[in-house]
Amino acid sequence: MLSSVKELDYQPKLNGRDFLTLADFSKAELNFMLNLAQHLKKQRKLGREEQPLKGKTLGMIFEKSSTRTRVSFEAGIYQLGGTGLFLSSKDLQIGRGEPVADTAKVLSGYLDGIMIRTYSQSLVEQLAENATIPVINGLTDDYHPCQVLADMLTIQETKGSLKGVKIAYIGDGNNMAHSLMIGSAIMGMDISVASPKGFEPDEAITKKAVDLANQSSVVVTNDPVEAVANADVIYTDVWASMGQEEEQKAREEIFANFQVNDYLVAHAHSDYTFMHCLPAHRGEEVTASIIDGKHSVVFQEAENRLHAQKALMVALMG
């Protein structure tokens, strides 16, 4: 067993880089972060945590509220020896019209890293372009790369490897679908995304995933049974994401045939794993029998947000 982070075989030069989408990283670099996450998780379980970020400060900007993102980043930076600052956009001058570039330059003088959870991907990119410290995308309407880093860690733990795994994502072609497609393509996993007509993933992001595919396939369909056929992992998300609450009732009708239930999962491998980024609406996108059943790893997956993001912070800020 590794006794310290420094003993990892592969040490890419990730210090100072931004984490805006998974597409910005190679398979080897993502594997390094997953190996680092496994190491940090083991050390925590053994009570032998390292503090490679002692004295470092992470600023956490939130335009969207959060449970898992906020608590995992704040607890994670503390466990690594650093400090996390919760920065609501309502309390910052950026919420009153200060240019993003000015905010980025000011925060770069105070902090060692920035995590932002917001709506616009372009805002995150503008922040990163003007900051001189690493910027981490905690979620935008287009991508959720931190979640998928934790998802890949969970799949490794449950399936033993990522190679050759087939993921079936059922539901809205949203930021989760986008990041799962990108991550699967890079890491050599097959992915099938099933969404209702008009709710498919963004075409440009789908093309990016197809272009990145590493001995794997990326399929988009309107048939959930087709997507789930022979799947190793079944994944879903809420039908109406944050900011889409007024569409809830309409989406319940449109997505009715895309519920993950006992009928649908019967088309997957018998040892399939069920995953959900949470929060979940039992009785809508997934039945209680599935999310609370023996195939579900949603709470292991949620815990892995902590370990994956600790690895990410060490890699970028260490």
Query: 178, 251, 276, 305: which one is catalytic?
Result: 305
- The answer to whether 174 is a known ligand-binding residue is no
Query: 144, 178, 251, 276: which one is catalytic?
Result: 144
- The answer to whether 241 is a known ligand-binding residue is yes
Query: 142, 151, 251, 277: which one is catalytic?
Result: 277
Neighbouring C-alpha atoms within 13 Å toward the C-beta of 48:
9
125 DSSP β-pair partners = none
- The answer to whether 273 is a known ligand-binding residue is no
Query: 190, 237, 276, 309: which one is catalytic?
Result: 237
Contacts of 214 (CB under 8 A, 6+ apart): 27, 185, 186, 187, 188
Three-state DSSP class for 174?
coil
- The answer to whether 146 is a known ligand-binding residue is yes
Interaxial angle between packed helices 175-187 and 27-45, expressed in degrees from 0 to 180 and rounded to the nearest 10: 100
- The H-assigned helical ranges of 114-270 are 121-130, 145-159, 175-187, 203-212, 224-228, 248-254, 262-265
The DSSP code sequence of 225-247 is HHHHTT-SEEEE--SS-TT-GGG
Query: 147, 156, 259, 309: which one is catalytic?
Result: 147
Query: 117, 251, 276, 307: which one is catalytic?
Result: 117
- The answer to whether 305 is a known ligand-binding residue is yes
- The answer to whether 176 is a known ligand-binding residue is no
- The answer to whether 237 is a known ligand-binding residue is yes
Task: State yes or no: is 305 an active-site residue.
Answer: yes
- The answer to whether 201 is a known ligand-binding residue is no
- The answer to whether 181 is a known ligand-binding residue is no
151 contacts 180 by C-beta, under 8 angstroms = yes
Backbone torsion region of residue 227, taken as left when φ is above 0, otherwise alpha when ψ lies between -120 and 50, otherwise beta: alpha
- The answer to whether 292 is a known ligand-binding residue is no
Task: State yes or no: is 237 an active-site residue.
Answer: yes
Task: State yes or no: is 277 an active-site residue.
Answer: yes
Task: State yes or no: is 117 an active-site residue.
Answer: yes
Output the known binding site for L-ornithine: 175, 237, 241-242
Q: What is the set of active-site residues?
A: 117, 144, 147, 237, 277, 305
Output the known binding site: 66-69, 93, 117, 144-147, 175, 237, 241-242, 277-278, 305
Output the known binding site for carbamoyl phosphate: 66-69, 93, 117, 144-147, 277-278, 305
